[in-house]
Amino acid sequence: MTAIFAFYFAVKHGLLTFAKIYTMVRFFKIVATLEGISLLLLFFVAMPLKYMFDNPDYIRPVGTAHGVLFIAYMILALVLKIQQNWPISKLLIVWIASVLPFGTFYIEWKYFRTPQNN
């Protein structure tokens, strides 16, 4: 949690100037897509294999990948909220969508399909 606040402070005060906004949006779109795919793999491949076929081999690698991508998605959403002055409601919608199957794909389509964000 401390790392998130430190990251928030660095972004808020312009200490992180390593990327322009369009690069951050592009990176967020990539992470959102990968996070969505990892969630679908976890729900519709790894978990059915574990519980229906007693094969837990895919839970750990898919779950770990999903966990890392989920955290990256949340942090990048916070960074974009700060950089683009999103209202808190938009940030909450983006965060809530990350726990729903196909939610990240919907967010990507709804909020990031404009030509300026490509």
Domain limits of the chain? 20-113
pLDDT recorded at residue 18: 47
Question: Looking at residue 61, what is its pLDDT?
Answer: 93
Q: What is each CA distance from 19 to 4, 27, 32, in whole angstroms?
A: 18, 10, 18
pLDDT number for residue 62: 92
The structure tokens listed for 111 are 């909020």
pTM of the model: 0.75
Taken as a whole, the chain contains a residue count of 118
- Which of 50, 51, 68 has its CA nearest to residue 59? 50
Minimal CA–CA distance to 69: which of 107, 88, 42?
Answer: 42
- Tens place of pLDDT per residue across the chain (118 aa): 555 555 566 666 555 554 455 677 888 888 988 999 999 999 999 999 999 999 888 999 999 999 999 999 999 999 889 888 889 999 999 999 988 888 888 888 887 776 554 4
CA dist 73 → 29, 49, 94, 99 (Å): 9, 26, 9, 11
**Contact partners, residue 72, CB within 8 Å, separation at least 6:** 31, 35
Contact (Cβ atoms closer than 8 angstroms) between residue 49 and residue 55: yes
